[in-house]
Structure formats: C-alpha cells, structure tokens
C-alpha cells in the first residue's frame, strides 16, 4: 500500500517501507526505547529486536478516508521507565517527523509494547 501526495509538479507515492523507516527512526531515538519488535512477536514467540532495514515488520501503516494515515508502532522498552511518558514522546516525535520529513499527517499513532528489557544485563 502506498500513500499518494498530489503536488503542483505531479504525484508522489510513498511506500509503507519509507514511512516505516521514518517511524522506526523516530521511535528508537526516544529515551526508554530499546528497539523495535515484530508485530507478530507474541504470536510467533520471537523476541528479537529489529534492525533498521527491518523496521517495516514493526510498523503498520493504514490510510484513512481523509488521506491521513494511522500508524501502529511495536516497541521494546527499557525496564524502569514510565511507559505512558515514553509512549507519549513516541507519538509526538513520530507525528513531527512524518510532517517535517515526508509532508504527511498521522491522525493516530498507536504504541504497542511487545517486551520490557532490563538494560545492562
């Protein structure tokens, strides 16, 4: 699925992988986030962290009727952080980066915590 943006010079199509890369980068920059996880991590019992080239496995992009997008982000957080605060920071940073880097608006950013890791062990 792609997001299409009409400009005065023509139409731009952004694939989900491009959006997932921006969303994954914005997510992993936040304090308290250890990394990204697969959206099927619990079902598949697979708890490995995703690398940058695999961020699309941890991000689900849906297009709404209004042309904006809804994003689901699957994360692994550090033990001891305030989950609500880290999640809010992820939502704000993802929306900001999508608007500034790609020129698209995210209506919703849903943050799912797939695992909690003790950092340093």
Q: What is the pTM of this model?
A: 0.82
Q: Report yes or no: 93 and 26 within 8 Å, Cβ to Cβ.
A: yes
Over residues 94-113, the pLDDT tens digits come to 999 999 998 888 899 999 99
pLDDT, residue 5, reads 74
Given a cut of 80, whether residue 86 has pLDDT beyond it is yes
Q: What is the pLDDT of residues 14-39, one digit of tens each?
A: 888 888 889 998 998 999 998 888 77
- Whole-number Cα distances in Å, 85 to 37, 58, 66, 82: 19, 20, 29, 5
Write down the pLDDT at residue 99.
92
Could you tell me the fold of the domain covering 2-47+54-117? Alpha-Beta Plaits (3.30.70)
Q: Are 63 and 3 in contact (CB under 8 A)?
A: yes
Smallest CA-to-CA distance from 68 within 10, 19, 111 is with 19
The SS3 call for residue 47 is coil
Q: Report the candidate in 10, 120, 12, 14 with the shortest Cα–Cα distance to residue 71.
A: 14
Q: Where are the domains of the chain?
A: 2-47+54-117
Give the C-alpha separation, 115 to 90, whole Å. 16
Chain centre to alpha carbon of residue 93: 10
pLDDT at 109: 95
């Amino acid at each position: 699925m792609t997001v299409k943006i009409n400009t005065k010079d023509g139409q731009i199509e952004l694939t989900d992988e491009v959006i997932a890369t921006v969303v994954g980068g914005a997510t992993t920059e936040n304090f308290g986030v250890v990394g990204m996880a697969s959206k099927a991590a619990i079902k598949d019992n697979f708890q490995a962290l995703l690398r940058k080239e695999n961020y699309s496995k941890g991000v689900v992009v849906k297009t709404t009727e209004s042309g904006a997008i809804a994003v689901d982000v699957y994360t692994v957080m550090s033990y001891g952080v305030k989950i609500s605060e880290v999640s809010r920071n992820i939502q704000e940073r993802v929306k900001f980066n999508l608007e500034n880097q790609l020129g698209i608006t995210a209506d919703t950013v849903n943050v799912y915590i797939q695992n909690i890791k003790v950092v340093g062990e």
